[in-house]
């Protein structure tokens, strides 16, 4: 079982990583096929553009929060580096060092660029970045590598204390974006049939949710 000193923070970190994987999986599914992109651009391009931006921002913030230092000023953070210090405090230095190694593997090319983008564009609008330099690029690979490093770090702990493996990346998202796309597809076809007068124009008013 997990030591009581680390269990609360481990559980929060686990939930944060699972959440990030879930919304990242949904976003990748949505934009992975041209037909899906064409459908959402036909139905509600502004909404889905805003949703994409908000989701990417949230994923970046999760990555940055979980790699924040143990403390920010007088406030304590829930982060891997706080967890690492707790592991050291119960003499599990070897486990702590393995997690540090996993995070360091992806720091330069994935985690650090996302943290830099967070600092300059998400929580602040850095003048030089906005006015004088090209916008800091965010890539799919940076997110994939960061989240994978987090999952591996969790497995160092779960394997040691629980003799089990966690697989946040394989989370099953139910009632998600796929269901919405099916409704958009069917609704688009319904509109096409109305235009062809194969369905009465008043038929729509008889639907359960017409007043929405």
Of the listed ranges 38-42, 76-80, 131-135, 170-174, the least confidently predicted one is 131-135
The label of the residue with tokens 């965010």 reads 138
Section 184-193 average pLDDT: 94
- What would the pLDDT profile of 9-25 be if each residue is shown by its tens digit? 999 999 999 999 999 99
The tokens for 161 are 């204390």
pLDDT at 206 over 80: yes
What is the DSSP code (8-state) at residue 137?
P
pLDDT at 201 over 80: no
Cα distances from 202 to residues 60, 147, 189, 191, 205, in angstroms, run 46, 49, 16, 12, 6
Mean pLDDT in the chain?
Answer: 95
pLDDT at 8 over 90: yes
Residue 72: strand pairing partners = 75
Cα distances from 152 to residues 29, 131, 180, in angstroms, run 23, 38, 32
- What would the pLDDT profile of 57-81 be if each residue is shown by its tens digit? 999 999 999 999 999 999 999 999 9
Pick the closest to residue 17 from 170, 178, 176, 174 (CA basis): 170
pLDDT at 170 over 80: yes
What pLDDT does 59 receive? 98
């Amino acid at each position: 079982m997990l030591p009581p000193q680390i269990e609360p923070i481990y559980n929060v970190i686990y939930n944060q990583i699972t959440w990030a994987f879930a919304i990242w999986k949904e976003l990748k599914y949505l934009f992975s096929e041209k037909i899906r992109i064409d459908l959402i651009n036909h139905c509600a391009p502004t909404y889905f553009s805003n949703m994409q931006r908000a989701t990417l921002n949230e994923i970046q913030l999760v990555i940055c929060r979980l790699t924040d230092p143990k403390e920010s000023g007088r406030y304590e953070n829930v982060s891997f580096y706080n967890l690492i210090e707790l592991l050291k405090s119960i003499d599990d230095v070897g486990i702590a060092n393995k997690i540090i190694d996993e995070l360091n593997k992806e720091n330069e090319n994935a985690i650090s660029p996302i943290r830099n983008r967070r600092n300059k564009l998400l929580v602040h609008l850095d003048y030089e970045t906005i006015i004088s330099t090209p916008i800091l690029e965010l890539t799919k690979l940076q997110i994939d590598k960061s989240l994978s490093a987090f999952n591996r770090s969790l497995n160092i702990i779960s394997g040691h204390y629980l003799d089990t493996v966690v697989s946040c990346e394989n989370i099953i998202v139910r009632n998600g974006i796929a269901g919405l796309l099916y409704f958009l597809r069917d609704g688009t076809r319904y509109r096409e049939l109305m235009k062809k007068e194969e369905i009465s124009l008043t038929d729509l008013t008889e639907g359960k949710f017409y007043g929405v």
